[in-house]
């Protein structure tokens, strides 16, 4: 079994109003020195069986087209091997 983590974030040049709101709230709640906050999405996908190159390529394509909006978002994909305890 493999676990795939896809993290999606707005591109740096895209305004992040939710991140800005959280940044302001952190300051008001006593955390000083917060330079920036960016909000994102995290997808955890658990797959049965092995993750071969073809499945990995399919996941990469889906992450770029379905899970993220390539116009305004970037994504990273990480594969964790549950058997190794990672």
CATH number (domain holding residue 68): 3.30.1280.10
Q: Is the pLDDT of residue 18 over 50?
A: yes
69 CB-near residues (< 8 Å, 6+ apart): none
Sheet holding 40-47, edge to edge: 40-47, 2-10, 73-81
Check the CA dihedral 72-75-25-18 and report its sign. Answer: positive
Would you state the torsion angle of the CA atoms of residues 65, 70, 73, 78, taken in this order, to the nearest 10 degrees? 50
Domain count across the chain? 1
Q: Is the pLDDT of residue 26 over 50?
A: yes
Residues of the domain holding 35: 2-84
38-63 mean pLDDT = 95
The pTM score is: 0.83
Residue 86 pLDDT: 44
């Amino acid at each position: 079994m493999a676990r795939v983590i896809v993290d999606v974030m707005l591109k740096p040049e895209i305004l992040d109003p939710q991140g800005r709101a959280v940044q302001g709230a952190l300051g008001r709640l006593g955390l000083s020195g917060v330079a920036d906050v960016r909000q994102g999405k995290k997808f955890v996908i658990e797959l049965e069986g092995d993750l071969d190159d073809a499945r990995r390529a399919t996941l990469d394509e889906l992450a770029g087209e379905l899970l993220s909006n390539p116009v305004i978002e970037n994504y990273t994909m990480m594969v964790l091997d549950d058997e190794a305890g990672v």
